[in-house]
């Protein structure tokens, strides 16, 4: 393979590179064909504001094995039919190459693995037009060889290279590079370098392929002046998104045999460059794409055009460097695993995927699949606050705040939901989309009954206050949400003759318990603590708290079975199988004050009763709780269980359950990361200090948490078997509590604390 002008792929032993040499299999006639696509889980990248699923071909749209989707934050449909949905954009990454007999992309999508498009289409994209499938001449070697695709976690760049033999038997080396620019939230780049080993006409087609769109209608499309564009509107909501692409050909477009870009004649958003090739001469073509929605601009099309033009003027080299620097800043918050290269790769991949769907400039909350797909309709659940968000907060509070801003902006909708149910305060929806109204499909009971989500939101707001100490935010955003949630719970309880408060008619986190049930212990503890958060927030601001908050919190029943020594999941629970972690979560993240013996008893009772085919994050909680109990070896066994059955090759993406489910499942990635950020470190936020209780499994040599952030301090925690070092890089002295002892770390200094010895 020719060493292309953009640089070669990352070496095979690069710890930051995820790469595959498949999916290929021998064709039996001198070439290779695409095979086993059902086992290939395509790459995904994003800048936190919009994203792209990149198929095996390295660009464009593919229906299988996983439909490529192109999402931008906030593009939701209306609620016609009962609930909103996340809409997908046209496929903006298409930059296909052709020799006139067939196209590179078609070689990856034929039913036979030869040349075509999606099964049954019988067409291929050549010169901007959908042309009938061209069959190869008899005896020609054809297909794909020397294939490799790589995702660089440091930069989010996906690079694909292959040697392609066309239906006419012409051999061409092709190399694609795709990235969304983290430094420019509306900009992406697609580049292809083509090295033909033949002489003739090469066609390169830039398109906005509407086969990739879903739940939208195209309002406008066109091509001209070196640009293509499309404006789509999400069904029923009026939210629009504009896409503009500018394509640049080789550096000397005025030379002989160069034509373009010329727009297609049928009104589609496509344009083609034609170049006369010489054998062995590499040619590079780059498209600069901008995606802008009506959420951020009154004129999305004109804004997108300006951003695409600016990107094109800056050029590939500048954009790549700016993107690298932006990602480098985020990767200052690294998690280093020593002694297990596979675990290290999966930890970094998990962190990368969270960052692809969250950005400090985006006031949107990531759904369980983030910007990778429309899984769960792209709705926001407790997944964000409970599983995804804490793994952002520890090292990226500036990014984590966006998810809270999303809730603040929808507080009025939560108030309306509470009032509709006859209650004061605010009740956040189980599924939230564009407006913050309840977006749970009406045929499932969770929308009105899985009310613990409001307390989960409150926990995230409280954790943000503890981690940042931001009084201005607490006054303007934090307390209004916390007090509204507290008002809801104070009004929602039912008081019995003895003055005890019950919460009746709910569904706990265990969704097999569809109920409704009374006194879900998780819901009761979460509601109790949400009431106390509001009171403490008011105290921190020196304002009066509603006395009902503390009074109600103190009277809420926390069910406990004295005979079994455990918390029953709800009144009447008799040991049936549960879907996912529920009662065990009282210990983490809720830190319910209970003896370690009760925490262990809860875990030992519920772990074997948890469905092994349930969602991936359950074992993450089990691991964290075992680490807290001092059993590092059992914790690490659960760590393996929390990742190995769920992660999919070759790009280390989580599926929701062992058999598949939602993909790429950010909820699983977030829970997995919490094991390292909060489990083995024992990190807990406090208003006046951080608490650590480090422990290390015997199979690891060390865990280093870099650039943790607490109230203006930036610090590292380096866990080794012979001790744990806390280093403070910037900020006021850092108060650290370990094993009941409080120490202060000076800026530029460090302290050594004991690493706990495992009880197993």
What is the b/e burial string over 378-393, where b = at least 16 CB atoms within 10 angstroms of the residue's CB?
A: bbbbbbbbbbbbbbbb
- The bridge status of strand 501-502 relative to strand 494-495 is antiparallel
- Cα–Cα–Cα angle for 53, 57, 59, nearest 5°? 50
Q: Residues 161, 511, 569, 652: which is the catalytic one? A: 511
User: Three-state SS for 378?
Assistant: helix
CA separation for the pair 417, 431 (Å, rounded): 12
* DSSP label at residue 475: I
Place of tokens 């030379």: 255
Residue 612: CB atoms within 10 Å: 12
**What residues are paired with 24 via a beta bridge?**
34
Of 473, 312, 392, the C-alpha closest to 671 is: 392
- Cα–Cα–Cα angle for 240, 243, 249, nearest 5°? 175
Sheet of strand 258-263, all strands in order from the earlier edge strand to the far edge: 95-98, 200-207, 270-277, 258-263
CA separation for the pair 640, 448 (Å, rounded): 35
Distance from the Cα of residue 389 to its chain's centroid: 10
Which residues are within 8 A (CB) of 7 and not within 5 positions of it... i.e. 6 or more apart? none
Of 747, 750, 745, the C-alpha closest to 727 is: 750
Residue 707: CB atoms within 10 Å: 18
CA separation for the pair 609, 611 (Å, rounded): 6
| Rg of the chain in Å (alpha carbons) | 27
Active site residue 321: no
Which residues are within 8 A (CB) of 664 and not within 5 positions of it... i.e. 6 or more apart? 44, 353, 369, 370, 372, 373, 653, 654
Of 204, 322, 309, 208, the C-alpha closest to 262 is: 204
- The Cα diameter of the chain in Å comes to 93
Question: What are the start-end ranges of the E strands in 481-547?
Answer: 494-495, 501-502
Active site positions, annotated? 511
């Amino acid at each position: 393979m020719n060493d292309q002008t953009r640089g070669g792929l990352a070496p095979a032993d690069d710890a930051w590179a995820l790469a595959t040499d498949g999916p290929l299999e021998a064709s039996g006639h001198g070439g290779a064909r695409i095979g086993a696509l059902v086992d290939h889980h395509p790459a995904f990248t994003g800048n936190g504001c919009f994203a792209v699923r990149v198929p095996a071909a390295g660009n464009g749209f593919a229906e299988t094995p996983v439909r490529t989707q192109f999402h931008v934050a906030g593009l939701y449909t209306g609620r016609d039919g009962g609930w909103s949905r996340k809409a997908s954009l046209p496929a903006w990454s298409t930059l296909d190459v052709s020799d006139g007999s067939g196209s590179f992309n078609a070689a990856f999508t034929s039913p036979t693995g030869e040349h075509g498009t999606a099964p049954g289409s019988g067409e291929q994209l050549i010169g901007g037009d959908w042309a009938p499938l061209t069959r190869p001449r008899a005896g020609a070697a054809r297909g794909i060889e020397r294939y490799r695709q790589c995702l660089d976690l440091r930069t989010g760049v996906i690079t694909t290279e292959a040697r392609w033999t066309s239906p006419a038997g012409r051999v061409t080396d092709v190399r694609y590079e795709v990235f969304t620019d983290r430094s420019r939230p509306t900009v992406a780049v697609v580049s292809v370098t083509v090295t033909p080993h033949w002489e003739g006409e090469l066609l390169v087609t830039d398109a906005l392929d509407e086969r990739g769109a879903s739940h939208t209608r195209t309002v406008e499309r066109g091509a001209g002046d070196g640009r293509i564009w499309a404006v789509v509107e999400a069904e029923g909501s009026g939210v629009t998104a504009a896409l503009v692409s500018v394509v640049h050909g080789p550096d000397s477009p005025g030379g002989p045999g160069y034509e373009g870009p010329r727009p297609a004649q049928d009104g589609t958003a496509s344009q083609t460059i034609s170049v006369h090739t010489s054998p062995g001469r590499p040619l590079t073509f780059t498209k600069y794409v901008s995606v802008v929605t009506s959420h951020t601009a009154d004129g999305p099309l004109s804004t997108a055009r300006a951003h695409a033009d600016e990107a094109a003027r800056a050029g590939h080299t500048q954009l790549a460097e700016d993107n690298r620097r932006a990602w480098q800043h985020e990767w200052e918050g690294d998690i280093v695993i020593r002694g297990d290269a596979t675990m290290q790769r999966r930890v970094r991949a998990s962190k990368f995927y969270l960052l692809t769907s969250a950005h400090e400039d985006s006031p949107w909350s990531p759904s369980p699949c983030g910007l990778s797909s429309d899984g769960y309709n792209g709705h926001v659940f407790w997944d964000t606050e409970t599983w995804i968000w804490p793994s952002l907060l520890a090292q990226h509070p500036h990014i984590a705040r966006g998810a809270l801003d999303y809730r603040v902006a929808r507080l009025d909708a939560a108030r309306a939901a509470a009032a509709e149910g006859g209650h004061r305060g605010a009740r956040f929806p189980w599924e939230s989309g564009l407006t913050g109204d309840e977006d749970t499909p009406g045929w499932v009971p969770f929308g009105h009954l899985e009310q613990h989500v409001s307390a989960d939101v409150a926990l995230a707001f409280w954790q943000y206050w503890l981690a940042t100490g931001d009084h201005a935010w607490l006054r303007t955003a934090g307390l209004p949400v916390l007090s509204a949630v507290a008002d809801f719970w104070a009004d929602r309880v039912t008081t019995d003759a003895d003055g005890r408060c019950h919460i009746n008619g709910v569904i706990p986190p265990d969704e097999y318990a569809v109920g409704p049930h009374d006194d879900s212990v998780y819901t009761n503890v979460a509601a109790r603590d949400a009431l106390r958060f509001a009171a403490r927030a008011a105290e921190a601001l020196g304002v009066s708290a509603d006395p009902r908050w503390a009074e109600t919190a103190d009277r809420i029943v926390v069910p406990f079975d004295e005979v079994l020594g455990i918390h029953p999941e709800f009144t009447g629970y008799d040991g049936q199988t549960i879907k996912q972690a529920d009662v065990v979560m009282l210990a983490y993240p809720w830190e319910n004050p209970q003896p370690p013996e009760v925490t262990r008893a809860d875990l030992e009772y519920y772990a074997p009763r948890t469905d092994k085919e349930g969602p991936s994050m359950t074992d993450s909680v089990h691991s964290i709780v075992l680490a807290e109990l001092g059993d590092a070896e059992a914790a690490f066994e659960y760590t393996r269980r929390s990742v190995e059955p769920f992660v999919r090759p070759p790009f280390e993406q989580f599926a929701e359950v062992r058999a598949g489910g939602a993909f790429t499942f950010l909820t699983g990635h977030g829970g997995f990361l919490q094991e390292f950020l909060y489990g083995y470190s024992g990190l807990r936020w406090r208003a006046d200090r951080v608490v650590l209780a480090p422990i290390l499994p015997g199979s690891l040599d060390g865990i280093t948490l870099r650039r943790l952030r607490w109230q203006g301090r930036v610090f590292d925690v380096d866990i080794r078997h012979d001790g744990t070092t806390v280093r403070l890089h910037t900020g006021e002295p850092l108060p650290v509590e370990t094993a009941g002892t409080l120490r202060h770390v000076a800026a530029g200094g460090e302290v050594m604390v004991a690493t706990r010895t495992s009880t197993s």
